[in-house]
């Protein structure tokens, strides 16, 4: 058996239970499996352990709803080059680049061994952000346009280098890493559980609930504890509220970028209403402080539940009008349709996830393929999938998801109404001292608004968190943006970019 088979609801995996393959076996097996669309890699990372380097891989089987965990290992100072999987399956590129950059592991045949985020403790200190050689092309009629790393407004830093023929983009290279803060190292540097959870909320500011949920799910698995259904429901509620808020905000931002004022101001107002609803619930507009391990500080009350239900219904009603407006406005359609297309096959090869993948016709949705919590029981999630893969598809994706989330929130609140009215829903307070299983690996796999988010937590022999490896969906999808703008006009880059709305700090960690 090459894999330890588990799923998104089972408990932690003991490190000794994870099979350790030779790299040859690992390579052959993964190469064969990844050719099949049902598999994609959720996480692949290296962990130094004493004098050994162990590589863990989480492979998702979307058809069977299974998570396949495997590993391979080598001596810490061994310097044989491993044959690169990226050469066969481009979706492996962020993982292999990360491993190579951090530990100096060489991958043979890696098509583009580009550093991922230039961490402080990288293997090759001579390669830095300042001397990074951008890809260039020769040609009398070509010109290069560099945008960033400092951008106008409040956009995070990231460098975009375009090679253009007149107004047409031939190639876009995205260089990230400017937001690298050492988040993963900070997880292992403290034993303070509260601090670790707060840290997970700040991995990407616009996905606070998503990342906190992924981290606390992993913690709960390691603690081996189940929690009341109402708590699961409230977390899912927060996740769907976050999804609504961000999708509405992006609808507004897309309208703004094409100068469509009506869409912009309507969505800005609705987004404020959504995050204010979250604030009225837990005191923070981005729901920081709401997701806590094994309990909650802000249990829903009957009044709060009816307030959320009322607000969400109103938001959904008004947002539907905006959606109708956008769909029937010819000038808006002219900008969004047939712009920034990523075909399904390309999306699959680069391992695209989340809403961007679904807009290209690739059904990647953890809520449906690897359901956890309430998604596995009460909500039978049906992912929304679009075919065209253009900006319009990604926008319509957002529109539909907002309404779908509003429907879910309504259903969940209806289900908890009786419980709350009876006053029987006494939820536990957070437990920051729960002992974790030693020498184990647990993962939190959550479909955030942007897509598949994975936190892999590994504990040491004393049950302390030895490493938390975070994967934000942006890690995969930045490549999709680079492909989307090829042969588009350079002036359409901003709307392509906004249609993905990827995270810089989620990528840079």
Q: Which residues bind other proteins (CB under 8 A)?
A: 143-147, 152-153, 166-167, 255, 257-262, 265, 329, 331-332, 334-335, 339, 489-494
- CB of 451 vs other proteins, minimal distance in Å: 25
The CA dihedral of 457, 460, 463, 469, to the nearest 10 degrees, is -10
- CB of 148 vs other proteins, minimal distance in Å: 10
- CB of 406 vs other proteins, minimal distance in Å: 23
- Given the complex with other proteins, which of 317 and 380 has the nearer CB atom? 317
- CB of 160 vs other proteins, minimal distance in Å: 9
Q: Three-class SS string for 339-386?
A: CCCCCHHHHHHCCCCHHHHHHCCCCCCHHHHCCCHHHHCCCCCCCCCC
Cis amide leading into 149 (omega within 30): yes
- Name every residue whose Cβ is closer than 8 Å to that of residue 282 and which is 6 or more positions away in sequence: 238, 289, 290, 297, 298
- Given the complex with other proteins, which of 392 and 454 has the nearer CB atom? 392
- Given the complex with other proteins, which of 204 and 332 has the nearer CB atom? 332
CB 157 within 8 A of CB 176: no
Distance CA(326)–CA(320), nearest Å, equals 10
- Given the complex with other proteins, which of 5 and 269 has the nearer CB atom? 269
CB 139 within 8 A of CB 158: no
- Given the complex with other proteins, which of 207 and 264 has the nearer CB atom? 264
- CB of 261 vs other proteins, minimal distance in Å: 5
- Given the complex with other proteins, which of 115 and 340 has the nearer CB atom? 340
- Given the complex with other proteins, which of 79 and 138 has the nearer CB atom? 138
> For 175-260, where are the alpha helices, taking DSSP H only?
183-189, 193-201, 208-223, 229-257
- CB of 154 vs other proteins, minimal distance in Å: 10
CB-based burial label for 34 (10 Å; 0-12, 13-18, 19+):
buried
- CB of 151 vs other proteins, minimal distance in Å: 9
Residue 73 tokens read as: 């290992």
Distance CA(218)–CA(70), nearest Å, equals 18
């Amino acid at each position: 058996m090459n894999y330890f088979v588990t799923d998104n609801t089972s408990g932690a995996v003991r490190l000794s239970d994870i099979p350790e393959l030779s790299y040859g076996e690992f390579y052959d097996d993964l190469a064969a499996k990844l050719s099949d669309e049902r598999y994609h890699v959720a996480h692949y990372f290296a962990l130094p352990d004493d004098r050994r380097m162990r590589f863990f891989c989480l492979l998702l089987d979307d058809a069977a709803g299974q998570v396949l965990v495997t590993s391979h290992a080598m001596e810490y100072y061994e310097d044989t080059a491993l044959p690169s999987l990226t050469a066969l399956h481009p979706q492996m590129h962020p993982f292999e680049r990360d491993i190579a950059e951090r530990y100096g592991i060489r991958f043979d045949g890696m098509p583009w061994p580009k550093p991922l985020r230039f961490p402080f403790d990288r293997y090759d200190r001579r390669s830095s952000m300042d001397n990074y050689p951008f890809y260039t092309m020769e040609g009398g009629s070509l010109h290069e346009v560099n945008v960033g790393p400092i951008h106008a407004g409040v956009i995070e830093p990231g460098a975009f280098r375009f090679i253009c023929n007149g107004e047409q983009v031939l190639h876009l290279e995205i260089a990230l890493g400017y937001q690298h803060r050492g988040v993963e190292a900070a997880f292992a540097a403290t034993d303070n559980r509260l601090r670790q959870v707060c840290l997970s909320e700040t991995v990407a500011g616009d996905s606070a609930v998503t990342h906190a949920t992924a981290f606390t799910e992993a913690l709960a698995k390691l603690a081996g504890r189940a929690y009341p259904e109402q708590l699961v429901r409230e977390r899912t509620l927060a996740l769907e509220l976050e999804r609504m808020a961000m999708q509405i905000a992006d609808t507004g931002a897309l309208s703004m970028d094409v100068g469509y004022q009506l869409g912009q101001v309507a969505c800005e107002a609705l987004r404020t209403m959504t995050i204010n609803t979250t604030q009225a619930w837990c005191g923070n507009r981005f729901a920081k402080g709401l997701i806590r391990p094994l309990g909650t500080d802000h249990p829903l009350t009957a009044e709060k539940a009816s307030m959320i239900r009322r607000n969400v219904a109103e938001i959904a009603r008004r947002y539907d009008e905006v959606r109708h407006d956008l769909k029937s406005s010819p000038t808006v359609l002219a900008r969004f349709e047939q712009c920034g297309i990523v075909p399904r096959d390309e999306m699959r090869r680069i391992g695209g996830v989340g809403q961007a993948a679904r807009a290209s016709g690739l059904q990647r949705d953890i809520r449906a393929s690897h359901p956890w919590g309430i998604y596995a029981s009460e909500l039978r999630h049906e992912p929304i999938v679009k075919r065209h893969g253009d900006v319009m598809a990604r926008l319509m994706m957002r529109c539909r998801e907002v309404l779908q989330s509003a429907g879910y929130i309504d259903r969940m609140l209806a289900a908890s109404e009786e419980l709350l009215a009876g006053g029987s829903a006494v939820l536990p307070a957070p437990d920051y001292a729960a002992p974790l299983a030693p020498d184990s690996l647990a993962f939190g796999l959550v479909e955030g608004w942007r897509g598949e988010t994975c936190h892999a937590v590994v504990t040491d022999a004393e049950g302390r968190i030895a490493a938390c490896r975070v994967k934000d969906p942006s890690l995969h999808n930045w490549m999709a943006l680079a492909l989307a703008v090829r042969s588009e006009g350079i002036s359409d880059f901003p709307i392509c970019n906004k249609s993905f709305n990827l995270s810089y700090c989620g990528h840079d960690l």
